[in-house]
Amino acid sequence: EKVIEGSGRVLERVGEREWRLVPTGFWQAHRGAATTYSTVVGEWAQASAGATAWDLYGGVGVFAAVLAEQVGPSGHVVSVESSKTAVDDGMEALADLGQVSFRHGRVERMIPELPAPEVVVLDPPRAGAGRDVVAAVAEAGPRRIVHVGCDPASFGRDVGLYRDHGFELADVRAFAAFPSTHHVECIGLFTR
């Protein structure tokens, strides 16, 4: 990479918050996706003031910002992400939110170290969360889970895994965020 002009960073916004990202980092492909998904996460997470929430596969903290508003300054949001670049960009963007902490590492390895959550939001890669992560999330005992999935097949598999652990799919929304492709973004709310 060689910056010819400018800062070498990409500016993205969700609501009033800005993220300055490395150009090779991940951001939603559809222009309105981050804002739209954040709105749904906010509606469904319903984290209580002072609660603990997890943002798994948290990227640069777009959903962590929403959760931070809900838990307030006395709460705690833990964002776990395997990309060090995304963690660094997220820490910079959310530096004013003391209730948010970022952890760099693989979700399946980090879950045992996390404090018990009231709410879990997760946005795994195309392969989905899978058996081990769903089991670990369920065992942590959250009241609500908001699961974002970009592949309907892996999302469907994960729905079945949550059901095996006593969670029901209370609501689901699908978004054609990738026009002219077979990909559909699904967001599910799971409750016990």
pLDDT of the residue at 39: 96
Other beta carbons within 10 Å of 129: 27
Q: Which amino acid is at 28?
A: Q
pTM: 0.92
User: Mind telling me the catalytic residues?
Assistant: 150
Q: Which pLDDT tens digit goes with each residue over 37-80?
A: 999 999 999 999 999 999 999 999 999 999 999 999 999 999 99
pLDDT of the residue at 3: 73
Task: Give the ranges where the chain is alpha helix by DSSP (H).
Answer: 33-45, 62-71, 84-93, 107-110, 130-140, 152-164
Structural tokens at position 118: 């009231």
pLDDT of the residue at 192: 93
Integer Cα distance of 97 and 112 in angstroms: 24
Q: Which pLDDT tens digit goes with each residue over 86-102?
A: 999 999 999 999 999 99
Residue from 131, 178, 121, 179 nearest 154 by CA: 131
